[in-house]
Amino acid sequence: MKTQFVTDDNGKKIAVILPLKNYQRMLEELEELEDIRLYDEAKMVNEPSIPIEKAFSQIEAKRKSKK
């Protein structure tokens, strides 16, 4: 990966410039890591779970009630 740095007047690196493709891939990987973290947190909570279809129905009902 070709990486460029932005420096201040003293030559201290203050920012990074990298190809857009690499940046987008990094964002996707960060989102995946966040999903994994949230999944792990949810698994640690001893609350009863509900089927995904029911969860979506409840979410949709809440959205409609706010309109």
Q: Enumerate the domain spans of the chain.
A: 4-65
pLDDT 10s digits, 30-61? 999 999 998 888 888 877 888 989 988 988 99
- Bin 14: left if φ > 0, else alpha if -120 < ψ < 50, else beta: alpha
At residue 33's C-alpha, the angle toward residues 29 and 37, to 5°, is 170
Question: In the 3-class helix/strand/coil scheme, how is 4-65 assigned residue by residue?
Answer: EEEECCCCCEEEEECCHHHHHHHHHHHHHHHHHHHHHHHHHCCCCCCCHHHHHHHHHHHHHH
Q: Residue 66 has what pLDDT?
A: 74
> Which pLDDT does position 7 carry in this prediction?
97
| pTM, to two decimals | 0.56
